[in-house]
Amino acid sequence: MTTKYAETEPRQDAVKHVGRPVDRVDGRAKTTGEARYAAEHRYPGMAHAALVHATVARGRIEAVDTEAARAVPGVIEVLTHENAPAMKPAPKTSLMNLSSLASGTTVSYLATDEVHWNGQPVAVVVAETPETARHAASLVRVAYRELPAVVDFAAEEPNASPQKSSVLQPAGGDKGDAVAALAAAPVSVDLRFTTPPEHHNAMEPHATIAVWDGDRLTVHEGTQNIAWLRAHLAQRFGIPERAVRVLSPYVGGGFGGKGFVWAGTLLAVLAARATARPVRLALTREGVYRTVGGRTPTVQRVALGADGDGDLTALIHTSVAMTARIGGMPEGVVSSSRHLYDAATIHLRQRLVRLDLLANTAMRAPGDSVGSFALESAMDELACELGIDPIELRRRNEPERNPMDGKRFTHRMLREAYEVGAERFGWRERDPRPGSMRDGRWLVGMGVATAYHPSLTMPADVTVRLAADGAVVVRCALQEIGVGAATVQAQITADELGVPLEAVRVEIGDSELPAGPGAGGSAQTAGAAAGVLDACRKLKESALALARRAPDSPLRGRRLDDLEARDGGLYHGGRGETYAAILARAGRDHLEAGGGTGMLKFLAKTLNERRRWVKAASGAHFCEVRVDRDTGEVRVSRWLGMFDVGRVINAKTAAGQLRGGIVMGIGMALTEATQVDPRTGRIMNPSLSEYHVPVHADIPRIDVHWLDEPDPTMPLGLLGIGEVGITGVAAAVANAVRHATGKRVLDLPITLDKLL
Amino acid sequence: MRVNGAAESLDVEPWVSLLDALRDRLGVTGPKKGCDQGACGACTVLADGVRINACLALAVQYDGKEITTIEGLATGDDLHPLQAAFIRHDGLQCGYCTPGQICSAVAMLAEHRAGMPSAVTERSGELDEAEIRERMSGNLCRCGAYNGIVDAIKDVAGQEAR
């Protein structure tokens, strides 16, 4: 069997820019210090704010003593629930208005004496300098009447309640009687996994600069969703959306942590209103942990039954995750088990506990990253039980249609991904016996796991303007969180219009621009691409309409579908003319067109598609670890990811996204855990010195490859790449550790104490 | 204090960090604040050519010193070879750790040239990938652009060796 795949160069299509490893258009700004992030803007008279965090998990504020703080020279104001101006409460959530989902929590900050989590901001100090604000914040004394709080996830887990299904996310499901099938299975595994809370730790801590001019508000903030932030601020502060401007040209990493609106943003705006000064609130790293949610912990059970050949007869996957009493996102923890294996019977359930903690939120591949750890570890353990190669076990159970409901896959190339990946990784050299491969003091292990992440799009409004001098400007309020948002849309535009890449400038990061999709759900690039394709087509239609009016135009009588956009114009074979010539003849200095889909049409299309199709980005991870035989230290020594992500727009930035997901997954596998004090609900390691993200020395060379096959149902055939990379990673590491040591670690992270 | 070749005169309280002095008082915002406690390296600058975490340094300690930030590496429109290599090898995504990574790499190459060993140095002294990773491990990148960063540094180190 032959399979097409790309390493760094794409197939040589007629396209000129899409698929190529183009350098980032903002590479220069980011490597010279020219790129300004949210906290780096200055306004005359700008004051600085710092937060005071609650030190109890639940209670009422009995007294606040701000005297010492107010006495510090340079302090302008100390805001508490006793004197802060009111905000409107958070809106009720509705699918008809997606921006209503923007609230990180439902708390009315500084409008209540209630404390809902350990870390909730209970006062804001505004001062002339950041140092003064921080110092004065440390002098605010708050007395609480403590109330009983439920903060210990592990203790509460047995009391979980069933999770509700939503239109977009079923919370469970059954196919046949999996419980009976499991009991009857000749070979089975039944495992209980745990994953800890985790935090995004984007390198840029959240920061907001808020500037009021009468009833107009300007906000600088690194956000993953400009449209939601704008709508939310308008609602909370009772002003029209058009009175709010959000500027977010550069976002110093997000991973979900900047997708919703959290306390710091609202309190910066509130402080600016209360003091009539521009206010900057730059959270400390600890402040981010205290006020921005992270990933839910989970407890999961995966039980698999198989016949002697390895055909799955039962798949049971159940989970418990958290939300908070004040909000939080219920995750689709068992989602991958709906799609990955052709088991004869399937039983899926998700349950939730509600805790007196800060609300959890989306973190890179919510649900799938943790769910795939459990499912893919269990598959590996079943392979060990059966004495079958883990790739062969997956191949045998690869479904033709979606296992739960028989819907068709728009695209599914996992067999090819494993086949090509195994060849390139050298899987054949693996001796399956645990502990059999050694290199000096190191036990060597190899593991595989499947990556899987659903694909979706979100609507985007885009305008494209082409000037007579050839300059093209694309406008859409996209968010650049590191994905190369402007770069890839410039590539697409250049190809669609047939103009040089250098001629295209993409304006992003400003709420005055046409509304973009959020940078989340791996959906930004596809959504924006749909808008760009639509706008470019309309622009070419206008150019053609102008040309056809002229009796001497070589395009007279032509239809757009017969033409090729190239060399700065429209051509049929060798005959055609440039946009410049068309515009000059018509006496016009530019053409402009808008593209996009309305929200209602978009929702209808999405729901209709979901009734028929299942689509996802997927892939196969191959991991080699070395485990120190004496200390249990685990080093990841080699990695290969073979992905099916549909069409790749930029080979350079796509490889970076996929590698980045793998790097974060290695952190999840080996080092990352947010430690919550089970007595007080306080996060005990709110810093980068105590929460360990991977460093250079932890990360080997990561080979990423992709099968280069566009998806027929997605804009340009791209499936989205931001999240698929992290799914399956922790399982691949755990499976490699199992191979190296014979030990199955069920509780993340795989720290060395678990191997001794 | 000289910052990127220009004399700067500052009157700051003794508790102001070099990082805050650069960012908030002088408007030199290339050095980034990622943790404010020396754990992430985003604030790395060169003080008389030596890499330091500007968040752990008090501005008053650097009276009279030459500070170089990311803004001071390019010559006019010509990027420093490491800046160009970071773009070419895509050693960045969101860009927030990038100024620190590049400043750190500039000094790291100088340290290696001067024969300073690292925890993984064996006899050869060659700047292989393991050496680069070890010597750059004080600079975190949450986007995970580590492979590209190592490639960029290797590329420049190779150019220097030729």
- Phi and psi torsions of A642, nearest 5°: -115, 110
* B130-148: burial string, b at 16+ Cβ within 10 Å, e else: bbbbbbbbbbbbbbbbbbb
Is there a contact between A204 and B94 if contact means CB atoms under 8 Å apart? yes
Q: Are residues A270 and A212 in the same domain?
A: yes
If asked whether residues B89 and B150 sit together in one domain, one would say: yes
Residues B134 and B67 in one domain: no
The pLDDT value recorded for residue A6 is: 38
Of the candidates B26, B22, B29, the one whose C-alpha atom is nearest the C-alpha of residue B47 is: B22
Same structural domain, A209 and A89: yes
Query: Distance between CA atoms of A97 and A93, rounded to whole angstroms?
Result: 8
We report the CATH number of the domain holding residue B145 as 1.10.150.120
Residue A694 has pLDDT above 90, yes or no: yes
Is omega for the bond preceding A749 within 30 degrees of 0, making it cis?
yes
Q: Which of A545, A526, A523 is nearest to A534 (CA)?
A: A526
User: Could you read off the pLDDT of A202-250 as tens digits, one per residue?
Assistant: 999 999 999 999 999 999 999 999 999 999 999 999 999 999 999 999 9
Neighbours of A20 (CB within 10 A): 18
Asked if A26 contacts A36 with a C-beta cutoff of 8 angstroms, the reply is no
Is residue B123 predicted with pLDDT exceeding 90? no
Distance in Å from the first CA to the final CA of chain B: 36
Which pLDDT belongs to residue A372? 98
Does one domain contain both A77 and A174? no
Residue A565 in any domain: the answer is: yes
Closest CA in chain B for residue A691: B39
Nearest CA in chain B to A704: B147
Is B94's CB within 8 Å of A688's CB?
no
Among A203, A659, A663, beta carbon nearest to B34? A203
The Cα A453–Cα A264 span in angstroms is 31
Same domain, A559 and A417: no
Residue A274 pLDDT greater than 50, yes or no? yes
Mark whether B94 and B22 lie in a shared domain: no
User: Do B156 and B101 have their domain in common?
Assistant: yes
Domain-terminating residue out of A596, A619, A654? A596
- Name which of B70, B140, B145 is nearest A656 (Cβ-Cβ): B145
Residue A508 is classified by DSSP as -
Cβ–Cβ of B32/A202 closer than 8 Å? Answer: no
Q: Are A491 and A445 part of one and the same domain?
A: no
Contact A522, A458 (CB under 8 A): no
Q: Which residues of A touch B16 (CB under 8 A)?
A: 131
CATH number reported for the structural domain that contains residue B36 in this entry = 3.10.20.30
Best mutation target, A20, A24, A31, A224, to test chain B (most B CBs within 10 A): A31
Cβ distance of A688 and B140 shorter than 8 Å: yes
CATH (domain of A119): 3.90.1170.50
Alpha helices in A138-262 (DSSP H): 153-156, 178-184, 226-237
Q: Do B107 and B157 belong to one domain?
A: yes
Are A31 and B98 inside 8 Å of each other by CB?
yes
What's A76's DSSP letter?
E
With contacts defined as CB-CB under 8 Å, which chain B residues touch A284? 36
Which of A42, A203, A251 is facing B142, going by the closest CB pair? Answer: A203
Contacts of B33 in chain A (CB under 8 A): 39, 205, 282
0.95 surpassed by complex ipTM: yes
Q: Does residue A373 register a pLDDT over 70?
A: yes
Average pLDDT, chain A: 95
Mean pLDDT for B84-98 is 98
Check whether residue A591 and residue A634 sit in a common domain.
no
Q: Are B85 and B156 within one domain?
A: yes
Domain range holding A242? 45-148+203-253+258-291
A232/A118 same-domain check: yes
Tokens of B15: 């508790």
Q: Does residue A7 lie within any of the structural domains?
A: no
Report how far residue B48's alpha carbon sits from residue A251's, in angstroms, rounded to the nearest whole number: 31
Looking at A291, A315, A347, the residue that finishes a domain is: A291
Q: Where residue A403 falls among pLDDT bands split at 50, 70, 90?
A: very high
Percentage of chain A modeled with pLDDT above 70: 98
For A301, A430, A432, A756, the CA distances from A437, given in Å and listed in that order, are 30, 8, 9, 19
CB contact under 8 A, B71 and A205: no
B83 vs A482: CB contact, 8 Å cut-off? no
Q: Is residue A574 part of a domain?
A: yes
- Among B42, B72, B102, the domain boundary falls at B72
For residues A177 and A60, state if they share a domain.
no
Q: Is residue A6 situated within a structural domain? A: no
**Cβ–Cβ below 8 Å for B34 and A204:** yes
Q: A646 with A746, same domain? A: yes
Nearest by CB to residue A203, choosing from B30, B42, B79, is: B42
Q: Same structural domain for residues B90 and B68?
A: no
Which of A20, A25, A30 has the most B C-beta neighbours within 10 Å, making it the best mutation to test the interface with B?
A30
Which residue in B86, B135, B79, B147 sits closest to B111, CA to CA?
A: B135
Contact between A522 and A532 (Cβ < 8 Å) = no
Radius of gyration of chain A (CA): 27
Instruction: Work out the average pLDDT over A306-312.
Output: 97
How far is residue A612 CA from its own chain's centroid? 25
Is the domain of B61 the same as that of B86? Answer: no
Q: Is residue A654 part of a domain?
A: yes
> Is A723 one of the catalytic residues?
yes
Domain count, chain A: 3
Q: Are residues B18 and B68 in the same domain?
A: yes
Q: What are phi and psi of A613, to 5 degrees?
A: -125, 155
Q: Say whether both B66 and B134 belong to one domain.
A: no
CB A615 within 8 A of CB A726: no
Residues A487 and A577 in one domain: yes
Which residue of chain A comes nearest to B29, CA vs CA?
A40
Q: Residue A498: give its domain's CATH number.
A: 3.30.365.10
Nearest to A688 among B39, B102, B129 (CB): B39
The dihedrals phi and psi of B58, each to the nearest 5 degrees, come to -85, 140
Q: What is the residue type of A635?
A: R
Q: What pLDDT, on the 0 to 100 scale, is given for residue A611?
A: 87
Q: Are residues B86 and B154 in the same domain?
A: yes
pLDDT digits (tens, 9 = 90+) for A138-155: 999 999 999 999 999 999
- pLDDT above 50: residue A686: yes
What length is written for chain A? 756
Cβ(A616)–Cβ(A414) under 8 Å? no
Tell me the per-residue pLDDT of A531-557, one tens digit each, with 9 for 90 and over.
Answer: 999 999 999 999 999 999 999 999 999
Instruction: Indicate if the pLDDT at residue A651 is higher than 70.
Output: yes
* CA distance, residue A345 to nearest chain B CA (Å): 39
Domain that holds residue B11: 2-72
Residues A349 and A441 in one domain: yes
Does residue A372 lie within any of the structural domains? yes
Say if the Cβ atoms of B37 and A285 lie within 8 Å. Answer: yes
Q: Is the dihedral of CA A358, A359, A363, A367 positive or negative?
A: positive
Instruction: State the Cα–Cα distance between residues A396 and A389, nearest whole angstrom.
Output: 11
The answer on pLDDT for A607 being more than 90 is no
Please check whether residues A540 and A678 belong to one and the same domain: no
pLDDT at residue number A298: 98
Find residue A49's DSSP bridge partners.
Answer: A126
Q: How many CB pairs under 8 A join A and B?
A: 177
3-state secondary structure of A315: strand
Pairing of the two strands A279-282 and A207-213: antiparallel
Residues of B in contact with A253 (CB under 8 A): 93-94, 96, 142-143
The token duo for B103 is 């400043």
Task: Quote the CA–CA distance of A463 and A59 in Å, as a whole number.
Answer: 51
Total domains in chain B come to 2
